[in-house]
Amino acid sequence: MAHFKYIGRSKKGERVEGVVESNDRAGAVRIIESMGHIPVSVSETTRTHKQNGEDKKRFKFELGFQRKAKMKLQDLLLFSRELSDLVASGMTIGRALHTLAARKDESAVGRIVETLRDEIVQGTSLSDALELFPETFSSLYVNLVRAGEASGNLPGALENVCIHYERVHEAKGKVIGALMYPMIVVIVGLGAVIFLMAVIVPQFSVTFEEMGAELPGPTLALMAISGFVTKYGIIVAALIFGAFLGFKKWTSHGKGQELWHRTQLNIPIMGGIITNNAYAHFSRTFGTLLQNGVSVLPALGIVQKTIDNVVISSEIGKARDRVTDGASISKPLAQGKIFPRLLIDMLAVGEETGDMAGALSHITRRYDAELDRMVKTCTTVLEPLLLVLVAFLVGAIAVSLLLPVLTLTDNLHM
């Protein structure tokens, strides 16, 4: 096929240019029109579409415009589901992307879809086109699509992508939803305490000073804390915020991250939620990759990159290095003593029966159920504890303010 360089106008009148691959000039014109552009000039070129595209992409990425295009998880789920449905209905991948791009969405989603469509029209495979946006399409996503392309079952691969990411989104939603109420309690409680200390207590302080009353110890302590908060509250808040940013930066990489992630695994309840979520994610992702024809070693490498906790992720990498026959992974995983014995035993059974995908599916259900139980336990314990803590703080402030009033009342009756 020949390559044709074109200059044209979009439907909005903007200048567009690129290179398309076609047997002749008339075919090139049809391709350009199918992209939604009006061709102004079309001429044959010796440069391939990949050479030209790489130069354009490099230029755009250096400017920082295309690099910032990123889909949110919700947008990625919607895009994947719509693309899967269109391809499953019989559309070619190029036509399906053109249908999605025809909506003229000006957001990051629209820019990504248009770029994918242009790449597909120019002859690039979908998996290679997805790699242009690593911030949106993970190595798991790309490899599932590539496996579908290799097996000739792209609709099935896209469906598996949708199912996988929907389950991941559902798992995250469960954790976030369960922690939402405790977080609201904490925020409202802190707000109430700060309001009392910064506004109400100072007013009582003025009243007590005017009365010249002798204040009890708890009230004096409360007045001192209130004065400190009023005078240095902003400085303290700034220091806490700075310490938080410093801690976040320290735990974002290197030894600090490893130490923090290892500490998380040892925190009661929270550690259980993190580990069960990681085990469920490991088995779900690994099983999905194996079902789509990805071999064991590459699949382990992809799974390692998708685990958030670096301690568990590192152990998967070590197990991958220990795998010698390319199939048996239960013993290498057991050597690290990070993964639970039940998970190892179920993997070993899958290896013996030759049904690794089935064993991983059972493991996923097992740890999804355990995650649900741990989340419910967490919320069951946290909710009353937080309510009691907030009630105790507010009650202590109220009692400290009422003590001088009660003392004055007793003195009047004497």
Give all strands of the β-sheet with 38-45 in edge-to-edge order. 15-22, 2-9, 38-45
Q: Report CA torsion sign: 21, 9, 95, 289.
A: positive
- Rounded to whole angstroms, the Cα distance separating 49 from 40 reads 19
Q: How confident is the model at residue 410 (pLDDT cuts 50, 70, 90)?
A: low
Segment 171-177 mean pLDDT: 74
Segment 24-49 mean pLDDT: 72
Any idea what DSSP says for residue 196? I
Domain 69-137 listed as CATH 3.40.50.1260:
no
Is there a contact between 154 and 129 (Cβ–Cβ < 8 Å)? Answer: no
Q: What are the start-end ranges of the E strands in 118-261?
A: none
Q: Is 295 helix (H, G, I), strand (E, B) or coil?
A: coil
pLDDT in tens, 195-232: 888 888 888 888 777 776 677 888 888 888 888 888 88
pLDDT in tens, 81-118: 888 888 888 888 888 888 888 876 667 788 888 888 88
Q: How confident is the model at residue 244 (pLDDT cuts 50, 70, 90)?
A: very high
- Rounded to whole angstroms, the Cα distance separating 356 from 327 reads 10
Question: CA angle 69-71-76, nearest 5°?
Answer: 145
Where in the chain are the domains?
2-67, 69-137
How many angstroms separate the first and last alpha carbons of the chain? 108
Is there a contact between 375 and 391 (Cβ–Cβ < 8 Å)? Answer: no
Our measurement of the distance from residue 308's CA atom to the centroid of its chain's CA atoms, rounded to an integer in Å, reads: 9
- Rounded to whole angstroms, the Cα distance separating 154 from 61 reads 29
Segment 32-55 mean pLDDT: 63
Question: Residue written as tokens 């910064």?
Answer: 198
